[in-house]
Amino acid sequence: MATLEIKDLHASVVLDDETTKPILKGVNLTIKSGEVHAIMGPNGSGKSTLASTIAGHPKYVVDSGQVLLDGEDVLEMSVDERARAGLFLAMQYPVEIPGVTTSNFLRTAKTAIDGEAPSLRTWTKDVKAAMEQLKISPDMIQRNVNEGFSGGEKKRHEILQLELLKPKMALLDETDSGLDVDALKVVSEGVNRALETNDMGVMLITHYTRILRYIKPQFVHVFADGRVVDEGGPELAERLENEGYDRYLAPVK
Ligand code: ADP
Ligand code: MG
Ligand code: MG
C-alpha cells in the first residue's frame, strides 16, 4: 500500500535567463496504490510541470507546499532517491541518451532501484517477455536509449521501464500522445498489466479522453492555470469529451 500526497504545491519553471515563472498555484491531490487518477487539462495548464516537479526535474523549483510518499518528504530527496522510493515518471518527451544502450540503461536502472543487480537469467527473460508483449522490435535493446526511436517506440520504451522497474507510483505524462490506435492499445495493456501485478498508483496525465477507454480511471481531475479546478469520477471525462475545456478557461475579453 502506497500513498502519494500533494499538498498545496506551488512551483515555478526556471527560464533560460534563470528567472522563474510561477506555474503551479496550489495543487492538492492524493493518490493511493491501486488507483488511477486522470489529470486532464488544456495545453499549458501545468500538467507536465506537476509531474516533473514531483520527479525532481531541475528546471522546476518548489515555492511552497509538500509532496509526501508514504509520509516521506519527496521534495527533500534527490532524483535518484525519488526513484528508489518508488516514484516513476514517463516523460511527455523522452530524452535521447547517446552512448548508452537500452539494455545497459534498463539493467543499471533496475540495479539502482533494487539496490542489487537482478539475476541475469530471470532478468533477460523478463525483458524479453515484456518487450514481446509491448510489440517492441528485439533489436531495440542494443540501440542507444531513444536515439532515432519513433514517437511510438519512445512511448513503448517508457512503459517497458514501468513494467520492469515496478514503481509504487507512476506519473504518466501524455503517454498517449502521438500513438495510433494499435500502439495506444499495446501501451495501455502494459499499464494495466503493471496495475494488476504491482501495488501501484497511477497519475495519468492526458489532454484527450481517448486513452481512458483503455485505462480506466476511478478519479478524474481537471487542471487549469496551475491547479485542480474540478474533480469527479469517469463521468467527468465523458463530459470533457463532449464539451472540451472551455468552461474552465478564463473568458477572453
Ligand atoms: P502542460 O503540460 O499542461 O501543457 P506545461 O507544464 O508544459 O503545461 O507548461 C505550463 C506553463 O509553463 C505553460 O504556460 C508553458 O508555456 C510554461 N513553461 C513550461 N516550460 C517553460 C519554459 N522552459 N520556458 C517558458 N515557459 C515554460
Ligand atoms: Mg503540453
Ligand atoms: Mg505537458
Q: What is the DSSP string of 222-237?
A: EEETTEEEEEESHHHH
Q: Which residues line ligand 1 (CB under 6 A)?
A: 13, 15, 21, 23, 41, 43-49
| CA 142–ligand 1 middle distance (angstroms) | 34
For the chain, how long is the longest CA-to-CA vector? 64
In the structure grid, which three cell numbers stand for residue 89, read together?
515518471
* Contact assessment for residue 36 and residue 195, using Cβ atoms and an 8 Å cutoff: yes
Report d(CA 38, CA 222) in Å as an integer: 8
ipTM: 0.94
The residue whose CB lies within 8 Å of the most ligand 1 atoms, and thus the one to mutate among 9, 10, 13, 61, is 13
Give the per-residue pLDDT at 251: 67
Q: Considering the domain 3-246, what is its CATH architecture?
A: 3-Layer(aba) Sandwich (3.40)
SS3 content of the chain, % helix, strand, coil (to 5): 40, 30, 30
Report CA torsion sign: 162, 164, 166, 167: negative
Query: How many degrees, rounded to 5, is the angle at CA 1 between CA 65 and CA 54?
Result: 30
Q: Which ligand is nearest to the CA of 93?
A: 3
CB count within 10 Å of CB 187 equals 27
| CA 108/CA 129 separation, integer angstroms | 19
Q: What is the number of other CB atoms lying within 10 angstroms of the CB of residue 218?
A: 12
Nearest ligand to the CA atom of 42 = 1
The pTM of the full predicted model, rounded to 2 decimals, is 0.95
Q: Could you list the mean pLDDT of each consecutive 10-residue stretch along the chain, which spans 253 residues?
A: 97 96 98 98 96 96 98 96 96 93 96 94 96 96 94 95 97 94 96 96 96 97 97 95 89 64
Q: What span, in angstroms and rounded, lies between the C-alpha atoms of 171 and 90? A: 6
**Per-residue confidence (pLDDT) for residue 253, from 0 to 100:** 61
